[in-house]
Each structure stands twice: as structure tokens, then as C-alpha cells.
Structure 1
Amino acid sequence: MTKARFTHIGGPTVLIEFGGWRLLTDPTFDPPGRTYSFGWGTSSRKLTGPAVAAADLPAVDAVLLSHVHHGDNLDDAGRALLPAAGAIVTTSSGARALPYPARGLRAGQTTRLEAPGRPPIDITATPCRHGPPLSGPIVGEVIGFALTWPGQEHGPLWITGDTVYHRALRRAAAEIRPGTVLLHLGGVGFPLTGPLRYTMTARQAVRLCAAITPHTVLPVHYEGWQHFRQSREGVERDLRRAPKQLSSRFHWLPRGSAEPVEL
């Protein structure tokens, strides 16, 4: 059995520690107050700063970067951390855009992390659709990550990335059969685009998780920004309508402190 520690720093940013590895997801460490443009007339203001300062992080072996072009997944302070990371795994287009060496993946492709005395980690990119149908050329390339290594009891660790519920995501989840899901929620929306959503709502998440029944679901990326349309309270309200055997699998990570999770 693998025991890991998850430290939710804020938004999509989580430090994952296990087996001697330290992995960091979507680094965002800027202070609150700034408004970030997301293109095509959309923007959002950051409301909450990181629960752990970038200067207080331990050495990071790899950054798992779902996409490079939105400030709520990679900001200026997060970019400053990238050169010191042992490896950067991101989208193929993101790897070309970064000024540092990075491993670029498309959905379905796999890379491996290896180090002496540590379990090898296979990282497979999973499909994301960061918005409504046909929005890909506008919102850009985004991926999630399925992580497998020896000793997992409940199945792979899946980091969904910023995505709505869609057919390719459902198929990938069924193939992965994840044991633990780091689930990007928030139901992102903008005044300019009305009811359209750009990340999963709780209802979509329940639909997804009901099909794959993971052992543990860890919601992230639902707070700290103006463009989120569903807060923790909204997620919990929808979870109360879900079957108890499913809703009981959702666990909220405390901000800023390491939480042990069995994988």
C-alpha cells in the first residue's frame, strides 16, 4: 500500500509526496488582487493567495502542468519555480511554448519518472475539454494526468485537469479505473459567455464518479478566483443529493497542511 501526503496550496496547486517523490500540480503562487486575462474578452480576479509560500516549498522532483496559458493554473510566481523542478510534464504545445526543457504529451501518451531508490512513475496524459463543444481552438490544449507505480492498492492516481464532463473523459476514466481522483471543479463561467461552463460542476463530477467508483475523491480548483460559479458549499449541496456510498468518497483537503491519503 502507498501512503501519500497531499498539501492543498490553493486553486489547482497541490504538493503530492510519496515514496521519496515530491510532485507539484499547476503551480500558482501569486498574491491575490490581480486580474488575469484568459483571452477572447474573458478575465478573472484572484481573490485568495497561496496557503504555502513558494519560498517555503521543499525541492520539487516534477511539476505536472495541465496547461501553460491560463493564469489560474500557471502564474508568474509559478513560472519562476519551473527551472528548479527536476522535470516538467505538460501539453505538447505547452512544452514548445515554455523557455525551459519540458516533456510534452498529448492525450494517451505516457512518460516515466525514474530515480534511484524510488518507485518508477508512469504518467499518462488524459483528455480534457476546457469548455463547451468545439471550444478547443479558443481555450487551448489541456491535459490531465494518470499516475501509476508499483504498490498502489486502490488503483492509479488521476489528476483530471481543467475539463468539463465529456465522452472522451468518460472513456479515459473507465480505462484508468483510478483509485484516487484529484478533481478540478468550480463550474467556471464568465459574464461574456453566459451559462456556458469551462470546468466541471458537482453534478457532472457525480455522474463521472458514479461510473468509476474511485476509492477517494479530492476536490480542488473550486475557490480563490472570481470566475468560479460553484463554491465548496454548492458542491456539498449537490453531493447531499448523491447516493451516500458515492458522496462519502469525497474528502476536502485542508489548505496549507499535509493530509495523508492511502493510494
Structure 2
Amino acid sequence: MKNVRVTHIGGPTALVEAAGWRILTDPTFDPPGRRYSFGWGTSSRKRTGPALRPDELGPVDAVLLTHEHHADNLDDRGRALLPDVPIVVTTRAGARRLGGGARGLRPWAETTLTAPGRPPITVTATPCRHGPPLSRPIAGPVVGFALHWEGQEHGVFWITGDTVLFRGVRQVPRRMVVDTVLLHLGAVRFPSTGPLHYSMTAAEAVQLCTLARPRTIIPVHYEGWEHFTQGRDAVEKAFAAAPDDLGQRLHWLPLRTKPH
């Protein structure tokens, strides 16, 4: 996408610089080594740290938080950053828990980011299901975000959020043209729930991108934690076998993280 810069900080955390805005997704800045509980007998250890510390980010105009109740999307140091950010957008349940004026959205609801001297950005919440059917009461609410601003040439900038492939997420490319997608992957699984997966597999990602046909595909949230079962190799293999030129649209952003 023209005039957009994306810096992958680690996991789901990315700094998106566009139209004069500096937007941070799912802030995770804790060091590696700690084990975190995800509820219902599930847990995972963080294996790698962030590419940047919070004090190395520079000013952040807004945080887009797909969900705040899992530490691989909002950890302690990421949470400490939120009070200094002018705008925080998340789920409705997450906004109630965070307080502080956070904006909560249901899927397909919109909010507008505004600030002096910058064009407004329309943020549309997109559907997510963070696991198999009937998992929402356990996994909790999650949303993705589609960003649109004046001057975009080819379509929205879409952050899928933690989701599996299901009817709701398939509606996104049917409702809007997607130029760039920040694609949450990893095929999350836990020993206590067997073969069930809680985020998109590489095969599901190919299906979704075949439907959406984005010009640029940026994988995130596939590394750095024990509960990811598919990394870069699995994603590259799946996209290499995809029809047409889909694999050529895959762009891996560099990470400067060090293994624990």
C-alpha cells in the first residue's frame, strides 16, 4: 500500500504509519520466559521478546486492540502504555474493562480517528471467532479492524485479529476491497484441548486470501510463543502451492527478536 509503513515488533504487535498517523496494534512488550494463563486450563510460555521497547516507539496516536484478555495480545508492559495513548479502540467488553475512555466496537460498527492536521481514519470492526464453533464463551470476544482514509488507491488496510476461518471473516472481502492484510496466523493449539485450533492455519489463510485477493499480505502472530503450532515454513509452503500469484503477495517483515 502506497505511503504506508509497517514495523513488526513481535507477535501481533505492529506499528502502522499512514496518512500522518502512528497506530499500534495489540501492544505486547514483556520480555520472554514467563508463562501466562489463558484460562480453562490453558497456558503458554513467551519465547521471544519485542523488537522494540515502548520507549523506542516514539509517539503513538492510537492503539487498535483486537482483545485485551489474552497476554499474547496485551501484556503487562503493553497495558502500561495505554494511558498515554489518546485513542484506544477494542471490543465492547474490553472497553468496559479497560475504562479510561476506550472505544468499544461490535463487528461492523465504525469509529473515526481524528486529530488536528491529519486526515480522519474510519475504523470498521470486523468479525472474529477465536476458536471452533461455540468457543466464544470460553475464548471471549475478539474483533479485527479495517482502516480507510482519504487518498487510499486500492482498498482498506485490514487487521484480521485472532480468528479462525468462518462465515463472519469471509464476509469482509465480500463487503470491502482489501489492499493490505495484516494476517494473524499461528494455528494456536493447547494440549488440554487436543486438535482444536484457536487461530488461523496456513491452509485457512490461503483460502481467505484467495477470496480477498489483497495486493500485500503481511503475516503476524505466528512466532514467539509455545502455543503456535505453525510458523513461517508452514505458511510459505501453503502459499507456494496456492493458485495464481498469491505466494508472491506474501511479505515477511524483519524481526530483531532474540530467542530466550
Deviation at 1:244, TM superposition (A): 4.3
Alignment-derived partner of residue 55 in structure 2: 55
**Matches of 2:181 and 2:157, distance apart in 1:** 6
Counterpart residue type for residue 17 of structure 2: E
**Matches of 1:214 and 1:99, distance apart in 2:** 35
**How far does the alpha carbon of each residue in 1:191-217 deviate from its partner, in whole angstroms, 9 at most, with x for none?**
111111100011001101111211111
**Matches of 1:166 and 1:2, distance apart in 2:** 30
Alignment-derived partner of residue 86 in structure 2: 86
Alignment-derived partner of residue 261 in structure 1: none
Question: How much identity, in percent, do the aligned residues show?
Answer: 63
**How far does the alpha carbon of each residue in 1:167-204 deviate from its partner, in whole angstroms, 9 at most, with x for none?**
11101232122110000000000011111110001100
- TM-score, normalised relative to structure 2: 0.96
Counterpart residue type for residue 79 of structure 1: R
Q: Check 1:174–1:256 CA distance in 2 against 1; reply closer, same or farther (3 A cut).
A: farther
Deviation at 1:16, TM superposition (A): 0.7
- TM-score, normalised relative to structure 1: 0.95
May I ask how many residue pairs the two structures share in their alignment?
257
Alignment-derived partner of residue 178 in structure 1: 178
Q: How does 1:119-138 map to 2 (within 5 A)?
A: 119-138=119-138
Alignment-derived partner of residue 150 in structure 1: 150
* Contact 2:129–2:162 (Cα < 8 Å) also in 1: yes
Alignment-derived partner of residue 210 in structure 1: 210
Q: How does 1:1-263 map to 2 (within 5 A)?
A: 2-255=2-255
**Matches of 1:234 and 1:245, distance apart in 2:** 18
- Per mean C-alpha deviation after superposition, the further-off stretch among 57-66 and 96-105 is 96-105
> SS at 1:113's partner residue?
strand
> SS at 1:158's partner residue?
strand
* Contact 1:121–1:148 (Cα < 8 Å) also in 2: yes
Deviation at 1:2, TM superposition (A): 4.0
Deviation at 1:99, TM superposition (A): 3.8
**Matches of 1:112 and 1:180, distance apart in 2:** 19
* Contact 1:7–1:256 (Cα < 8 Å) also in 2: no
**Matches of 1:108 and 1:66, distance apart in 2:** 14
Runs (4+) off by over 2 Å: none
> SS at 2:173's partner residue?
helix
Question: Relative contact order (C-alpha < 8 Å, sep 6+): which is higher?
Answer: 1
**Matches of 1:173 and 1:29, distance apart in 2:** 31
* Contact 1:108–1:125 (Cα < 8 Å) also in 2: yes
* Contact 2:34–2:45 (Cα < 8 Å) also in 1: yes
* Contact 2:183–2:219 (Cα < 8 Å) also in 1: yes
> Which runs of 5 or more residues in structure 1 are unaligned?
258-263
> SS at 2:80's partner residue?
helix
* Contact 2:206–2:242 (Cα < 8 Å) also in 1: yes
**How far does the alpha carbon of each residue in 1:39-96 deviate from its partner, in whole angstroms, 9 at most, with x for none?**
0000000000000011111110000000010000000000000000010000000000
